[in-house]
Structure 1
Amino acid sequence: MQRYKRNIVIASGCLLLGMLCACKKLVTVPDPINTISTGQVFSSEKQANSAMVAIYSKMINGTDMTAIGNIASNSFAAGLSTILGGLSSDELYYYSGTANQSYYGVNTNKLTIYNSDKPWAIWFSAYDAIYGANSVIEGLADAKGLKDSVRLALTGEAKFARAFSYFYLVNFFGEVPLALTVDFNQTAHLPRASKDQVYSQVLKDLKDAAATMPAAYPTGSATERTRPNKYAALAMLARVYLYMGDYNNAAASATEVINNAADYRLETDPDNVFLTGSREAIWQLQQALTDFTIKNATPEGFVMRPVVLKVGIAQFCLTPSLLAAFEKDDLRFKKWTDSTDNSLGTGTSPGVTYYPLKYKISSANGVPGMPPQEYYMVLRLAEMYLIRAEAAANGAGGDGQAIADLNVIRKRAGLNDLPASLSKEQVLDAVAKERRTELFAEWGHRWFDLKRTNKMNAVLSATPLKQPWLGDYQALYPVPVPEISVNHFLTQNPGY
């Protein structure tokens, strides 16, 4: 376990110590063990389930329970994908400018290998989740006494977690090492796998997950969706197919989720979308409630909102171009954004700034130890309509189907229907616009959309904050230099 991390997940000597200590917390078992793949770890269904829960806990809460308040800045699955994706695109800007060189470098298209600690945190945290998933997969294979149905379901769940993590790695970094085991001898000197190879493995894992995970949530509650089920795997399949240009399969997978009306429906009020018990949720992550700084807020809700509402500083602000993308009377602007006149508190410009308000609970109004009102949304039904609309506009259903799906989303936003007379180009533009205004400040969607639709250069090279435009090479983040230093088979992304 520890040998594997030395070459796949370690950034520095200090990080090594922290991650090795955290590694021991991956699974809680009665007796000490040397490796998670020991059959003893999964000698009961309860222990096997605890292993999976621990992976999700690390993704959203980190490994240091005294530093939960900082986790959104350090984990791809706790807010960092949203922050960096927003800063890289035309969605967010960093209020404090050069105060944090890594955020500033991302935001202004001036990343180097010397100011990339935040992008590198995506790498480390995603590989940490992959390591945990691989450990569970191998541990289940060696386990004695588990029912085959339990073994299959949990193996599928671990494959889902691995596929999910690799999806973010390949979209932030491009070619990445494809580690499918905890065996140090196989992972010590892995080269970067091609994007096609990574996507092929992601598809394989998600198909396995969809085939073996139950439709019921492992939490035992239809409204407690803090562990993924079969439909979460189908939702990720829909997204991956869309990214790969396989529009027929993207539409089919999205439709399978949409058609499960017994479990999933759009919340009629945008204020209810991100709550615990949201019927729109396909998968959410559950935050810890033990930190007196973050209280019972989600990490992203904590970091996005000002400490002092209405007059405090919002560090991650919505860009003027995003604000201009909302139509008049769009409920998403009214209910999912807020503003603060920070000049009242600081005496400095720019005064009124807008910030994301999808999560309402922060340190300003949270209560430590109290039941959470919100979980951290990972996958939700609205994205499935948008995926099917884009797939339909690209031949998997036709413009009529695309417009119908877009109008479902627009209706919830309080907007008029799009006319049926739109041309294909207008439909595709409408898809992009609705994705931008529906999925803003969620998991880097805008950044990935600009890249996969080949619009990054046209949009960002004209964005004032990113001038002078230094080149399209920053569509990918730099591979962590400490990783290259311990694995000479790794290469750096061009331009760095």
Structure 2
Amino acid sequence: MKKLLFLFIAGSMLASCGKKFLETSPLDRKTIDAFYKTPADAYQGLVSAYSMLDQDGYGNILLTSEIASDDAFGGGGNADQGLNQWDKFINMNDINAAAWSKYYTGIYRCNILLQNINGVDFKADSTTKHRYIAEAKFLRAYYYFDLVRMFGNVPLITVPLEPGNYFIPQSTPDSVYAQIATDLKDAASNMPATAFGSIPSGEYGRATKWAAESLLGRVFLYYTGYYGKQSIGSVVSKTDATAAIEDVIQNSGYSLVPKFNNLFRASSDANGFAGQNNQEGVFVIQYTYLGLGDANQNNGNRVQVMIGIRSQVLGPYYKGWGAATVNPALYRAFQNGDTRRTSSIISIDDEGYSADYTLGDQAQYTGYFIKKYTPINDKKPEDLGGNFQWDNYDNYPVIRFADVLLMGAELNLTTNPGKAQGYLDQVRDRAFQDQAHRVTLNNVQQIMDERRFELALEGHRYWDLLRQGVSVAKSAIDNTGATAAFNVTFRPETKGLFSIPETQINLSNGTLKQNTGW
């Protein structure tokens, strides 16, 4: 029987692994009918929903959106033409299929858990039951947010589909965002308000009330900016979003790591790395080397190998594919004294590697590579029994506390400018390691500029441009380089949306319609 790729059968839902609470044995030998009897069953179902966070480098929105932004080009090897689809806004053979399948598989697993959890005997432990439900709703909202940002009009599926009911029409973005906001509000209300310092280490990576409130703020700012709305329907107002972010800032226990460079292994001082799950990571995707060379485990951070310096080891940096070469304009845009420049970007010349660097088949070489997540030669996967292609293990902080502070500054800018100023000051003081570089906050553009530097190459810039307007995105992204390889023309007719995978359209029996401009 024909099924769309986004509607995975139940037998696929129970394989999972990861770090700490994600480290489980595959459970693909049970059917749903024989499952969901005990709290342990429900926990494994929840883990299966989390496990989709780790899937596939080409399906990772971090890589996709950085290449699509003005801060990075496609890069990779000369034969890696697929990366150009994101960089140059051209249509190429089904490049977004990995993301579509990843997110709808994650949504399916959340829906399965939510449909079956009432059949689990939790005895008197209703707290655990409600927490599992809340985490599943958070994950469903997270997956849908990435989908709707990328593709706009997507099918909204909140229950597992019955046989014969596979051709679901696309919903309006308004409907999808309302569901996302509803899920996040429900999630925040049913998760424990445990401050960071009291979270058991074995639970790092699990969604919390603070993650749900932070994501709600991000969703609100993107939706109201991109679509020019005042609220997310009747579900979330600006007052609601502001209160959520304020709760995180005041009560979550999260804080800034004192030195920006110590957020990332590749830029940290000797013994200064703050750790994979430090006080700044409000929601952090967990990766591990424990796949030990087995690509099917999907344990490792595939983006790391994709962005590493292509095919060579230079100083502390380990080899990779050379994807997402950094635009020199970003490197030059940082102010003198801003520690974020050298912590975020590898400069081949400024770090003294020009004599040793070999161009090889690197495409769109700029002299700059992403440092934040680049593989490093110390305790690399091979040293730990893994493979550098599959088993890089640095976590990805999807939401950092610095991002929350900047959202707080943006939301409070017109209603409480003093508070907004204080939040911006915290971020800049850390960046420059002094108070002499503070600026008087007068407008939202200052916050957008600060976001560009603070969150550089972490997957946020493209969406920050789009929520300021398609014309703003085009002005920033259009590029004329010294050679044609760097010529980029943003096509406003696409409205910044990506092409829906052709395989999905072909399987949909005419239900799915391609986005305008593709």
| Bin of the TM-score, shorter chain as denominator length | 0.7 to 0.9
TM-score w.r.t. length of structure 1: 0.83
Alignment of 1:202-281 (within 5 A): 202-216=180-194, 221=200, 224-245=203-224, 246=231, 247-260=238-251, 263-274=253-264, 275-281=275-281
Alignment of 1:8-157 (within 5 A): 9=6, 22-25=12-15, 32-35=29-32, 38=33, 40-60=34-54, 62=55, 71-73=56-58, 75=59, 80-96=60-76, 99-110=79-90, 112=91, 114-117=92-95, 119-146=96-123, 147-157=125-135
The answer (yes or no) to whether the contact 1:28–1:47 under 8 Å persists in 2 is no
Q: In 2 relative to 1, CA 403–200 (structure 1 residues): closer, same or farther, beyond 3 Å?
A: same
Tell me, yes or no, if structure 1 residue 345 matches structure 2 residue 349: no
Deviations 1:42-99 (A, max 9, x none): 3332332222223222321x3xxxxxxxx322x3xxxx21111011110111224652
The answer (yes or no) to whether the contact 2:70–2:478 under 8 Å persists in 1 is no
Higher mean alpha-carbon deviation, 159-168 vs 341-350, is at: 341-350
What amino acid is the match of 1:407? D
Distance 1:294 1:377 in 2: 24
Higher mean alpha-carbon deviation, 319-328 vs 468-477, is at: 468-477
Higher mean alpha-carbon deviation, 288-297 vs 299-308, is at: 288-297
Tell me, yes or no, if structure 1 residue 459 matches structure 2 residue 476: yes
1:67 is matched with: none
The answer (yes or no) to whether the contact 1:344–1:351 under 8 Å persists in 2 is no
C-alpha displacement of 1:217? 8.6
Distance 1:159 1:186 in 2: 26
Q: In 2 relative to 1, CA 166–297 (structure 1 residues): closer, same or farther, beyond 3 Å?
A: closer
Distance 2:421 2:46 in 1: 40
Distance 1:149 1:419 in 2: 46
Q: Alignment partner of 2:399: what SS?
A: strand
What amino acid is the match of 2:15? K
Q: Alignment partner of 1:264: what SS?
A: coil
The answer (yes or no) to whether the contact 2:154–2:171 under 8 Å persists in 1 is yes
Q: Alignment partner of 2:205: what SS?
A: coil
Distance 1:279 1:364 in 2: 23
The answer (yes or no) to whether the contact 1:175–1:194 under 8 Å persists in 2 is yes
Q: In 2 relative to 1, CA 377–418 (structure 1 residues): closer, same or farther, beyond 3 Å?
A: same
The answer (yes or no) to whether the contact 2:11–2:31 under 8 Å persists in 1 is no
Tell me, yes or no, if structure 1 residue 433 matches structure 2 residue 449: yes
Deviations 1:286-336 (A, max 9, x none): 213234569997433333222533286733211122112211121111222
Alignment length, in residue pairs?
Answer: 458
> 1:300 pairs with 296, 303, 306, which one?
303
2:397 is matched with: 377
Higher mean alpha-carbon deviation, 233-242 vs 24-33, is at: 24-33
The answer (yes or no) to whether the contact 1:7–1:188 under 8 Å persists in 2 is yes
2:416 is matched with: 397
Q: In 2 relative to 1, CA 109–213 (structure 1 residues): closer, same or farther, beyond 3 Å?
A: same
C-alpha displacement of 1:141? 2.3
Tell me, yes or no, if structure 1 residue 331 matches structure 2 residue 346: no
> 2:514 pairs with 485, 492, 495, which one?
492
2:141 is matched with: 163
Q: In 2 relative to 1, CA 305–32 (structure 1 residues): closer, same or farther, beyond 3 Å?
A: closer
Distance 1:144 1:359 in 2: 42
What amino acid is the match of 2:439? P
1:66 is matched with: none
C-alpha displacement of 1:105? 1.9
Indicate the structure with greater helix content.
1
C-alpha displacement of 1:482? 1.8
What amino acid is the match of 2:220? Y
C-alpha displacement of 1:347? 5.8
Q: In 2 relative to 1, CA 470–291 (structure 1 residues): closer, same or farther, beyond 3 Å?
A: same
The answer (yes or no) to whether the contact 1:478–1:492 under 8 Å persists in 2 is yes
The answer (yes or no) to whether the contact 1:42–1:48 under 8 Å persists in 2 is yes
Deviations 1:374-422 (A, max 9, x none): 42212221111111111122x3423x332321111111111644333x5
Distance 1:351 1:210 in 2: 44
2:152 is matched with: 174
Tell me, yes or no, if structure 1 residue 355 matches structure 2 residue 355: no
1:65 is matched with: none
- Structure 2: 5+ residue runs without aligned partners? 17-23, 225-230, 232-237, 265-274
Distance 2:425 2:493 in 1: 34
The answer (yes or no) to whether the contact 2:254–2:401 under 8 Å persists in 1 is yes
The answer (yes or no) to whether the contact 2:77–2:361 under 8 Å persists in 1 is no
Distance 1:330 1:434 in 2: 11
2:21 is matched with: none
The answer (yes or no) to whether the contact 2:331–2:345 under 8 Å persists in 1 is no
C-alpha displacement of 1:139? 1.8
2:234 is matched with: none
Distance 2:375 2:165 in 1: 41
What amino acid is the match of 1:115? N
Distance 1:438 1:463 in 2: 26
The answer (yes or no) to whether the contact 1:297–1:361 under 8 Å persists in 2 is no
Q: In 2 relative to 1, CA 179–373 (structure 1 residues): closer, same or farther, beyond 3 Å?
A: closer
Q: Alignment partner of 1:184: what SS?
A: coil
Q: In 2 relative to 1, CA 256–220 (structure 1 residues): closer, same or farther, beyond 3 Å?
A: closer
Please provide the CA RMSD for this pair. Answer: 3.2
> 2:464 pairs with 449, 455, 462, which one?
449
The answer (yes or no) to whether the contact 1:291–1:368 under 8 Å persists in 2 is no
The answer (yes or no) to whether the contact 1:293–1:363 under 8 Å persists in 2 is no
- Structure 1: 5+ residue runs without aligned partners? 11-15, 63-70
Q: Alignment partner of 1:475: what SS?
A: coil
